[in-house]
């Protein structure tokens, strides 16, 4: 703050010096012009009387010209004898000055000097010519008291102005120190806490200015980091739990086989089958975790290309038809579009998203039910819907079904071999395409998953 005050004060001082310099120069120059004008008039008036050194006439007309002013007028002849002095001090005496000498040589001269009382005096000397011959000099002296008073008055006001500005800046600096420095210190403290992993830190929001907006932004960032950290911890916990379960089962099966003397080959074969199932389950979990990790890190960015969406959906149906037939579930399609142009999207990622949702629908739908895959165009999007008549999902659980490792019925999911990652992968894939996925469901009434994908096509063929 002190630095700001010093800078401002220095600026004001330099500005004042410049203003006073320019002002003083202009005022003195104006007085000089006036004094020269008066001297030239006086020269023209007394010229004819200087030739004959008619002192009375010189005094008469000079006194008339100088009447009402504080200017001292002196007329000298070529030998520097004073023919007229308005102060009557030098009449008949010799007056030698450099400025008078310059004028006697034919030049108009001027100078500023200071007398014994410290008063600035402006002097001008103008030659009196008779034709080409110089017959005398008019020498005028003007005290610059009024001009100096004006400059002094302005100097005083500039000093007062500078002092007031400095005091005002001081108060403003203290105010800004409270308004600016305190929030900045709080922001720095919050950043320091965040760097230490304390995402519960919050900054106090004051007013509605830029600092308040920045405080809200920092608080929002802290909330997002806190949620991210909580999700990370939950993910690590859930992943550890999911991996621990098949490993514990594998360990149990191995211990059972090892501890049984002369095990029956049929029992060993059954144990090995269970062991293979758990290994498959473990493999699925790891593969899907790797898929999500790639999506989170951006290493699995979509590779868009013209894609036949109907062919993509038919491929999913063909792949899952055996699963549906095994449970006597009718898997069919309902396309409300014809001649749909190829859509620019990533075939593999969208295929996996539709596959995961449809596979889940088949797993959770009771035997004898149905699963329908629909396709239509809605506004600037294509709409893919996967509908089933399964048990549905409770309203308070619908926002959680896309969370990683979330399963509304854990025991049933064990039977189906689910990992709780399929819908999370599906959502990430849809979001990568700039789309949106929604769930509509009621308990006992089945589910409808709606996927909206921006319709970016090479040709509008609908």
* Predicted local confidence at residue 292, as pLDDT: 61
Interatomic CA distance for residues 250 and 165, integer angstroms: 83
Domain count, the chain: 3
Same domain, 88 and 120: yes
Whether 82 maps to a domain, the answer reads yes
Rounded (10°) CA dihedral 235, 238, 240, 244: -160
- The reported pLDDT for the residue numbered 407 is 61
Last residue of a domain, one of 296, 328, 355: 296
For residue 342, the domain's CATH number is 3.30.565.10
Where is the domain boundary, 263, 296, 329? Answer: 296
- Nearest Cα neighbor of 284 from 371, 430, 427, 413 is 413
Q: What is the pLDDT at residue 329?
A: 93
Beta bridge partners of 378: 381
Residues 224 and 314 in one domain: no
According to the model, what pLDDT value does residue 379 have?
83
The residue range of the domain holding 360 is 302-454
pTM of the model: 0.46
Same domain, 242 and 354: no
Report the pLDDT value the prediction gives residue 313, as an integer from 0 to 100.
Answer: 92
Query: In the prediction, which pLDDT does 293 show?
Result: 66
Answer yes or no: is 178 within a domain: no
Same structural domain for residues 372 and 437?
yes
Q: What is the CATH number of the domain that holds 267?
A: 1.10.287.130
Quick check: is 156 in a domain?
Answer: no
Q: Domain for residue 131, yes or no?
A: yes
Is residue 450 located within the same domain as residue 415? yes
pLDDT at position 448: 92
Query: How far is it, in rounded angstroms, from Cα 278 to Cα 250?
Result: 7
Residue 352 belongs to some domain of the structure = yes
Backbone angles phi, psi at 176, to 5 degrees: -65, -30
Q: What is the CATH number of the domain that holds 38?
A: 3.30.450.20
Nearest-angstrom CA–CA distance, 364 and 389: 9
Q: Which of 296, 317, 334 is the last residue of a domain?
A: 296
pLDDT in the model for residue 413: 47
Furthest CA-CA distance within the chain: 161
Residues 142, 284 within the same domain: no
With CA atoms as reference, report the closest residue to 254 among 246, 197, 334, 93. Answer: 246
Same domain, 62 and 134: yes
Residues 356 and 421 in one domain: yes
pLDDT, averaged in runs of 10, over the chain (462 residues): 70 81 86 90 87 85 86 90 89 89 89 87 91 89 88 85 80 68 75 76 74 79 77 67 71 80 80 78 70 60 82 91 91 86 86 88 90 90 91 80 65 50 81 87 87 72 37
User: Is residue 434 situated within a structural domain?
Assistant: yes
344 touches 456 (CB < 8 A): yes
Please say whether the beta carbons of 253 and 275 come within 8 A: yes
Mean pLDDT of the chain: 81
Q: Is residue 35 part of a domain?
A: yes
Using DSSP, state whether 143 is helix, strand or coil.
strand
Report the 10 Å Cβ neighbour count for 119: 12
Domain presence at residue 339:
yes
130: DSSP letter: E
Q: 144 and 244 share a domain?
A: no
* Residues 262 and 316 reside in one and the same domain: no
Same domain for 34 and 79: yes
Q: E strand or H helix at 290, and its extent?
A: helix 265-297
State whether 33 and 95 are in the same domain: yes
Vertex 247, ends 241 and 249: CA angle to 5°?
Answer: 105
């Amino acid at each position: 703050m002190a630095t700001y005050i010093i800078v401002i004060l220095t600026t004001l001082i330099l500005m004042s010096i410049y203003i006073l310099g320019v002002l003083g120069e202009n005022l003195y120059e104006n007085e000089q012009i006036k004094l020269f004008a008066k001297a030239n008039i006086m020269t023209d008036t007394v010229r004819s009387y200087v030739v004959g050194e008619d002192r009375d006439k010189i005094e008469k007309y000079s006194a008339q010209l100088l009447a009402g002013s504080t200017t001292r007028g002196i007329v000298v002849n070529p030998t520097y004898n004073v023919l007229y002095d308005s102060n009557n001090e030098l009449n008949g005496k010799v007056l030698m000055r450099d400025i008078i000498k310059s004028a006697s040589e034919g030049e108009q001269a001027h100078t500023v000097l200071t007398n014994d009382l410290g008063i600035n005096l402006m002097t001008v000397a103008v030659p009196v010519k008779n034709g080409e011959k110089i017959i005398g000099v008019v020498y005028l002296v003007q005290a610059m008291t009024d001009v100096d008073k004006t400059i002094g008055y302005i100097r005083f006001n500039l000093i007062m102005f500078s002092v007031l500005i400095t005091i005002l800046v001081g108060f403003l600096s203290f105010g800004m120190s409270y308004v600016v420095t305190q929030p900045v210190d709080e922001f720095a403290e919050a950043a320091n806490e965040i760097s230490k992993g304390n995402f519960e830190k919050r900054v106090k929001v004051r007013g509605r200015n830029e600092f308040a907006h920045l405080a809200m932004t920092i608080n929002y960032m802290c909330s997002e980091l806190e949620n991210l950290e909580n999700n990370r911890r939950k993910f690590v916990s859930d992943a550890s739990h999911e991996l621990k379960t098949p490993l514990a089962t594998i360990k149990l099966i191995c211990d059972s086989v090892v501890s049984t003397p002369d095990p029956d080959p049929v029992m060993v074969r059954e144990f090995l089958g269970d062991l293979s199932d758990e290994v498959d389950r473990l493999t699925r979990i790891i593969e899907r975790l790797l898929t999500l990790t790639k999506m989170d890190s951006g290493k699995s960015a979509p590779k868009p290309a013209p894609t036949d969406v109907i062919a993509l959906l038919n491929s999913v149906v063909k792949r899952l038809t055996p699963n549906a037939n095994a449970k006597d579930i009718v898997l069919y399609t309902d396309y409300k579009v014809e001649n749909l142009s190829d859509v620019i999207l990533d075939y593999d990622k969208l295929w996996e998203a539709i596959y995961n949702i449809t596979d889940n629908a088949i797993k959770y739908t009771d035997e004898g039910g149905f699963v329908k895959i629909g396709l239509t165009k809605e506004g600037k999007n294509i709409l893919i819907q996967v509908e089933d008549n399964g048990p549905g999902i409770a309203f308070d659980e619908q926002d959680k079904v896309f969370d990683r490792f979330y399963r509304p019925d854990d025991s049933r999911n064990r039977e189906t071999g689910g990992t709780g990652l399929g819908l999370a992968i599906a959502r990430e894939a849809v979001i990568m395409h700039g789309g949106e996925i929604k769930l509509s469901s009621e308990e006992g009434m089945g589910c409808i998953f709606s996927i909206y994908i921006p319709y970016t096509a090479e040709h509008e063929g609908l």
